[in-house]
Amino acid sequence: MLSDFTELALRKAGPEWAPTSSRRDEPGSPYRDALAFAPASQREHSVAVAITILFAISVAWISGIASQGAIAVAAFLPVCSAITVLSLVLTSTLLFSQYRATHHPSLIFLTLGYVRTGIFLLAFILADPLMAAPVRILGGGSQSGPWLYWFSHFAFIVCVGEFVVTERFCARKTRSPRLSLWWIPAFSIVTVLATLVLTFSYESILPKLVVDGRSTAVMQHFFSPLLIVFSIVVLVFLGMTTRFKTVVALWLGVILFATLGELLAQWLAQGRPFTYGWYYAQTEWVVATTAFYVALQARITNILAAMSSVNDVLRQQSLTDHLTGLLNKGGFNERLTVAARQCHLLQQPIAVIGIDVDDFKAYNDTFGHPAGDIALAAVGAVLRTSFFRPDDICGRIGGEEFAIVLKNTDHSGALTVAERVRRAVERLNMRHAKGTSHPMVTISIGIALDRAENTVAVADLMGRADAALYKSKARGRNCITIAPMPPSPERES
């Protein structure tokens, strides 16, 4: 289960990122927020529908010229097959990471299915004569390549079927089933090895699929239709079971539909290489195998962007006083340190204005703490609107204590801002408690400055502003006191 931070990021990315509403959402489910099981957004459904329509139109168009010969490009099949193998490996890596995070059985079936498909295609690259390799690295005969190509497609459709069956089984469980799944990779290894041994060592006993560059009758009338019908059945079963609601189900549906189009084009081209149907089939197989990887990567990119945005929000919240909207003490000290360093490097003066609400304890005792919070929020609003430069810093550093930092500001500039703040608080006309120094809520202010040539010491600057503030208190409150300027380095020398 993801952390609260990650869940906040998912929700910030949009309503479609919220966890799915199914039994896998129950507390304790280890995969309710999994990337692969996140509900597909409306945008993703629209893209998937558009791609499916495009595939359907392209298959209808290519069907009329599928068997016509085209220019022979010897490198086309090796390049397409290499891209397909790479995309299968990358997708299986993402799926396995999702399985590690969720321990959901259907993902391990899907992961191993992608691995099996990739192994068969890699063996096909090393065995098929069309790869233009001077030596068949794995040996085999003329039928090894066609059989491996057929097995790669069959393995992919089977893995989707395994995913659907497992999903249907898990959907009936109130919690994620904790199954012992060690036998799945073991079975996959045995299956892959047996298939490779069969296609390379016992190729002579297998039915011939391709002769003289053309599909045989057994391929054209049995194996190709079998794959086409099998892919249709699995696609329908996938839709009935998942309704294409999740990311993984939606894109598996798109991939199966594209695979169906590829098989139809290959069937219409009668397996002849370098025909329009053959070129289309190889291209669509590449698209089909890479689509899921692209979709998952797009999801990951959006989640990372959402997390980065949430991280910025949370950091800002950690440095902000929730009552006044100003910086809190930690945020103020952080910004003050940076400002002091900048002013020292740029040889600019810096001013700190310390502010304290007069007789605030009496205000709280008379009107209550909720009213006191309202008064502090009003003072905070005054401070936010009493200076206008982007580099000015203002924070609430204590209960009723505030401070302002003004970079590149001299005595007159600091005094102007301080007087503006003092008068703005007076104009609030908030009635004060009886027996206080003033009938309305007021503030006392202390100002401390450092010359441009001085090395700015933050603690000393704040200390002098605080001392000046207490002098304002001693003078009767609702006034401004400027702390003495420290001696310049020239005078000290």
The residues with which 445 forms a beta bridge, in sequence order, are 355, 480
Q: Where are the beta strands (DSSP E) in 320-400?
A: 350-357, 393-396
Q: Where are the beta strands (DSSP E) in 171-317?
A: 210-211, 214-215
Nearest of 254, 245, 339, 350 to residue 295 by alpha carbon: 254
Q: Of the residues 26, 167, 400, 492, which is catalytic?
A: 400
Cα 263 from Cα 288, distance rounded (Å): 12
Long-range contacts from 130-137, C-beta under 8 angstroms, 24+ separation: 130/74, 130/77, 130/273, 131/77, 131/78, 131/81, 132/74, 132/75, 132/78
Q: What is the Cα gyration radius of the chain?
A: 36
Cα 352 from Cα 336, distance rounded (Å): 9
Which residues are CB-contacts of 283 (< 8 A; sequence separation ≥ 6)? 80
Cα 264 from Cα 276, distance rounded (Å): 12
Q: What are phi and psi of 77, to 5 degrees?
A: -65, -45
CA distance to 29, 274, 309, 384, 416, per residue, from 413 (Å): 61, 81, 36, 17, 5
Token representation of residue 245: 């609601």
Nearest of 290, 420, 413, 310 to residue 355 by alpha carbon: 420
CA distance to 158, 159, 178, 196, 409, per residue, from 92 (Å): 15, 12, 21, 20, 61
401 in catalytic set? no
The pairing of beta strand 480-482 with beta strand 443-450? parallel
List the catalytic residues: 400
